[in-house]
Amino acid sequence: GTVRLSVMGMADRPAEDHEIRAMRDLVARCMDEGARGISAGLIYPPSRYQSLEETVAVAKAAAVHGGIYDVHMRNEADAIAESVEEVIAISERSGIPAMITHFKIRGKKNWGRSAALIRRIDEARAAGIDVTMAQYPYTAGSTFLHVVIPPWYHSRGVDGLLRALREERGAIKHDLDTRMDWENFSQSVGWEKIFVSSVVSEANQPCVGKSISQIAAERGHADPADAAFDLLVEEQLAVGMISFGLDEADITAIMRHPAVSFITDGLMSGRPHPRAYATYPRILGRYVREQGVLSLEEAVRKMTSLPARKIRLRNKGVIAEGYDADLVVFDPDTVIDKNSYDDPRVHPAGIAHVLVNGVFVVEDAALTGARPGRVIRD
């Protein structure tokens, strides 16, 4: 997305040959400078405007340097099967290892599709296509509220999008109600399941923690979309959101797959998603100790060596001579998440020490203030 933005801005059109060459050159330069690969958020403009052919061409530039393609799929709801096929096609045609970031299935009518989707990924893997997945263990996701606006309005830039939110509400509402050719959160989860997690202004701080439906009722709007539009205009688009729409059974089915690694994907502003503070303790406490979904060893592998290998971190991910001393000392009998959606900034229990490059950053469950981390460029 950043590469396309640098070359084409927010243009919603196919890339021309000279623009694809410019994007490939940018990717090659970034890989030479130490990038691990390329990423794409295909529900977010301008990545949303990329075609399969353009993505394959750009991905090849990263593939020849050993990079990966880390992708938020184009659709995680009704069109999720087609989105999986797109990722498989990109990996197959470009030769790049692909990782589906926070692999999940959104919307109640799509719950239970994990088994079929995993079978399709396994078929691709058996055919030699390197597709893996990453996951966080929660039934809610988190992003920015402007994602609820159809992507064809975003191509106008920030000022044009804000103008549309003020002056073209009827057209936007019509698209929200009738078009499903994009990741339409208002339809897949509903306004009552979309909660505001952050704003910038003091005036709108009371909105944090409330659903769009609640805010609409308080403001006297008959249509919750108007509350969303108002907030986006008032905050100049800087509104975070948490949306509930995933199924626990799908989460555990995905979690068991050997090619799934664990991630936080945390946004830290406002009242953040609890995953930012407690993803790994939640897995170790709830899914390993309490539910037995995974063995302790398998959970640790999915947190350490598996993702380290995926992005070629040569001295990370295992405890071995010559590797960086990145260590976490935890009690498997007590480690657990202690936070919630209402109170997310609570540290987990059961973690005694954390070392980064051999230096204590947490000692006896207290932060030391040390910051020994460094950028990895090789």
**pLDDT tens-digit profile of 223-261?**
999 999 999 999 999 999 999 999 999 999 999 999 999
**pLDDT tens-digit profile of 277-311?**
999 999 999 999 999 999 999 999 999 999 999 99
DSSP 49: G
Write down the pLDDT at residue 376: 86
Write down the pLDDT at residue 267: 85
User: Are the CB atoms for 93 and 80 separated by under 8 Å?
Assistant: no
Write down the pLDDT at residue 325: 97
Q: For residue 205, give every residue at least 6 positions away whose Cβ sits within 8 Å of its Cβ, in sequence order, or none.
A: 199
Whose CA is closest to 237, among 158, 167, 172? 158
Contacts 24+ apart (CB under 8 A), 304-309: 306/261, 307/134, 307/261, 307/262, 307/263
Write down the pLDDT at residue 341: 97
Write down the pLDDT at residue 246: 98
Give the residue ranges of the chain where pLDDT is below 70: none
pTM: 0.96
